[in-house]
């Protein structure tokens, strides 16, 4: 028994000693804790960090990299409970305005002013706007995206079809019908269908917007069972069910990337950042055969979504200056050139800076998609995404804290429609209930 007690004591002492132990890095340096999402552009940044550390001796960078949902949950828990785990956190234009309002993030304007050559005006307009709160930037974009329609130029040519630069959804449906060829394992179109507020709901929300629908009216009454929303959802789910990929109810970005990249789909409506997999000969068999059109519309002039992964400093960080040095490095013009030179120009993070699209080497490899990407992002209007006025901002999401939960619940209903388990009416009625509960809390004037 004595042995046990002494063992327990030793463990306890060791534990408390280790609790106080700092990092085992070099002498008097700073160690930054950075939380990022595990997408390929971020993995590239991790590979290049040694260059930053060499230029800034005394700063060491430690990463934690997780898939989107886990990263979001972890970063939110950490920042919201003010546990101070991270000096730099990767968030998006969804969190930034909300967290800036909660006073959880450091205002970056003073830091930007102190950094010559950073040129925050170089950030593409709508992106910059979406990360600002009261005209100050609270996070800086790492890469941004909108959505557009990718299509197989060769298949279109063979069928004698021409894709206009600004197609309508009705035109897209006709194309899908003509090109759909189950016998040859070719789907007319690939669209997301899996549950998640950032999964099926991203493209679907843009369809709802351009059909004239909206989530809430000015008085925060939910609109999910209104005729416009129902017709939009009917259109989207019918399109998938008739000409879409098999297994659509679980298909997200990755599954469609595989389908399209392996040549099993004639069209794919999704993020502009998809070009990094579609045009990569390592993983795609259709690179070089893809054409790009703007997000299909019906009643609005544009319909692409707006999303950006960005870096922010939680207010609890004890190393704000070092954090800014790292962040500004990772989002600077020089970084773009560095990625191009070291890892290849197709790896350059797209959609954040205008100057990226002026780099000659980038222009060379991006001829097919640079202009459509830029046009899509620049025409996205997160402040007025819908035909009728709305009390919220955000194109493919409603920028309120409750949306992660509400959006996911609604998306589960949509997936059920796509899987053939529910009718559009019953699913949207259920969704309307969910949305109304949330809308009520806003109508009362809370938050």
Partner 1 sequence: MAGIAESSSSSTRAGRFGLALLTWVVAILFFFPVLWMVLTGFKQENAAYTRTPHITFSPTLQEFRNVFDSGVGAYLENSLIATAVSTLLVLILATPAAYALSIKPVKRWQDVLFFFISTKMLPVVAAIVPIYVVVERIGMLDNIWMLCILYAGMNMPIAVWMIRSFLLEVPGEVLEAATVDGANLQQSLRRVVLPMIAPGLAATALICVIFSWNEFFFAVNLTATRAGTVPVFLVGFITSEGLYWAQLAAAATIATLPVLLAGWIAQKQLVRGLSMGAIK
Partner 2 sequence: MSAVALRTAAPRRRTRNPEKVGAWTRRLPLLPALIFTVLITQIPFIFTIYYSLQSWNLVRPGSEHWVGVSNYGKVFTDSQFRDAAINTVILTASAVVIAMVLGTLLAILLDRTFPGRGFVRTLLITPFLVMPTAGALLWKTTILDPVYGLANFVLRPFGIGQFDWISKFPMGSVVAETVWQWTPFMMLIVLAGLTSQPRDVLEAGRVDGAGTFALFREITLPHLRRYIELGVLLGAIYVVNTFDAIYMMTQGGPGTSSTNLPFYLYQRAFLGFDIGQAAALGVVVVVGTIIVATFALRVVFSLLNVEEGR
List interacting residues with partner 2 (CB under 8 A).
Answer: 1, 4-5, 8, 69, 73, 76-77, 80-81, 98, 102, 104, 185, 194-197, 245-250, 258-259, 264, 401-402, 404-405, 408, 412-413, 415-416, 418-422, 427, 447
CB of 111 to partner 2, least distance (A): 24
The position carrying tokens 């620049």 is 378
Q: Which does 355 bind (CB under 5 to 8 A by kind): partner 1, partner 2, none?
A: none
Q: Which of 30, 85, 127, 380 binds partner 1 (CB under 8 A)?
A: 85
**29 vs 252, beta carbon nearer partner 1:** 252
Asked if residue 276 binds partner 1 (CB under 8 A), the reply is: yes
The partner in contact with residue 257, picked from partner 1, partner 2, none with C-beta cut-offs of 5 to 8 angstroms by kind, is partner 1
**Cβ-based nearer residue to partner 2, 5 or 116:** 5
Whichever of 240 and 330 has its CB closer to partner 2, that residue is 240
**CB under 8 A: which stretch of 93-101, 247-255, 335-343, 349-357 binds partner 1?**
247-255
Q: Which is nearer to partner 1, 285 or 447 (CB)?
A: 285
Among 6, 9, 23, 384, binds partner 1 (CB under 8 A): 23
Q: Give exposure, 349-369, as e/b (b: 16+ Cβ within 10 Å).
A: bbbbbbebbebeebeebbebb
Burial class (CB in 10 A: 0-12, 13-18, 19+), 296: buried
CA distance 21 to 5: 24
221 binding partner 1? (CB under 8 A): no
Could you say which of 285, 341, 423, 441 contacts partner 1 (CB under 8 A)?
285
For β-strands 88-92 and 30-37, DSSP reports them as parallel
Q: Does 252 bind partner 1 (CB under 8 A)?
A: yes
The yes or no reply on residue 104 touching partner 1 (CB under 8 A) is: no
Locus of tokens 């009454």: 221
In eight-state DSSP terms, residue 124 is -
Nearer to partner 2, 264 or 317 (CB): 264
* H-type alpha helices, 58-124: 68-80, 95-101, 109-114
Which positions ≥6 away from 68 have C-beta within 8 Å? 37, 38, 39, 198
Q: How many CB atoms are located within 10 Å of the residue 27 CB? A: 5
Q: Note whether 277 binds partner 1 by CB under 8 A.
A: yes
Residue bearing tokens 């025409």: 379
Q: Does 11 bind partner 1 (CB under 8 A)?
A: yes
d(CA 122, CA 131): 14
Q: Which is nearer to partner 2, 40 or 421 (CB)?
A: 421
Complete DSSP assignment for 261-311: HTT-BSEEEEEGGGHHHHT-TTT-S-TTSEEEEEPPBSSSS-----EEEEE
| Nearest by Cα to 191 from 261, 249, 118, 132 | 249
Interaction pattern, residues 176-205, with partner 1; x per rule: CB under 8 A: ---------x--------------------
Phi, psi of 400 (to 5 degrees): -130, 155
The smaller minimum CB distance to partner 1, of residues 84 and 391, is found at 84
162 touches partner 1 (CB under 8 A): no
Among 9, 26, 83, 227, binds partner 1 (CB under 8 A): 83
């Amino acid at each position: 028994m004595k042995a046990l007690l002494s063992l327990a004591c030793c463990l306890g002492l060791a534990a408390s000693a280790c609790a106080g132990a700092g990092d085992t890095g070099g002498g008097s340096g700073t160690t930054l804790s950075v939380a990022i999402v595990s997408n390929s552009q971020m993995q590239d940044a991790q590979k290049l960090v040694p260059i930053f550390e060499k230029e800034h001796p005394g700063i060491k960078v430690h990463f934690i990299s997780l898939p989107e949902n886990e990263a979001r949950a972890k970063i939110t828990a950490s920042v919201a409970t003010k546990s101070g785990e991270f000096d730099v956190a990767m968030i998006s234009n969804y969190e930034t305005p909300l967290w800036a309002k909660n006073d959880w993030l450091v205002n970056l304007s003073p830091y930007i002013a102190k950094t010559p050559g950073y040129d925050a005006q170089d950030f593409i307009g709508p992106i910059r706007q979406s990360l600002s709160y009261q005209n100050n930037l609270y996070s800086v974009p790492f890469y941004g995206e909108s959505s557009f329609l990718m299509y197989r130029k060769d298949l279109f040519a063979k069928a004698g079809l021409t894709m206009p630069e600004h197609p309508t959804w009705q035109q897209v449906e006709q194309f899908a019908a003509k090109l759909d060829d189950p016998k040859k394992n070719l789907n007319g179109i690939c669209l997301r269908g899996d549950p998640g507020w950032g999964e099926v709901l991203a493209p679907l929300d843009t369809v709802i917007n351009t059909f004239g629908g909206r989530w809430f009216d000015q008085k925060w009454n939910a609109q999910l069972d209104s005729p416009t929303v129902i017709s939009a959802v009917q259109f989207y789910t019918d399109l998938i069910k008739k000409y879409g990929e098999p297994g659509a109810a679980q298909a997200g970005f990755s599954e469609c990337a595989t389908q399209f990249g392996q040549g099993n789909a004639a069209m794919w409506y999704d993020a502009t950042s998809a070009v990094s997999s579609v045009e990569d000969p390592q993983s795609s068999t259709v690179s070089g055969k893809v054409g790009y059109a703007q997000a299909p519309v019906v009643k609005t002039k544009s319909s692409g979504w707006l999303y950006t992964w960005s870096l922010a400093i939680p207010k609890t960080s004890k190393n704000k200056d070092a954090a800014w040095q790292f962040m500004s490095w990772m989002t600077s013009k020089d970084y773009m050139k560095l990625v191009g030179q070291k890892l290849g120009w197709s790896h350059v993070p797209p959609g954040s800076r205008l100057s990226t699209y002026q780099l000659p080497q980038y222009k060379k490899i991006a001829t097919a998609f640079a202009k459509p990407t830029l046009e899509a992002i620049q025409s996205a209007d997160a402040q007025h995404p819908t035909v009728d006025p709305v009390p919220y901002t955000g194109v493919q999401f409603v920028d309120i804290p409750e949306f992660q939960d509400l959006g996911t619940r609604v998306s589960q209903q949509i997936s059920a429609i796509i899987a053939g388990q529910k009718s559009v009416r019953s699913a949207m009625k259920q969704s309307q209930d969910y949305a109304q509960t949330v809308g009520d809390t806003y109508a009362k004037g809370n938050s």
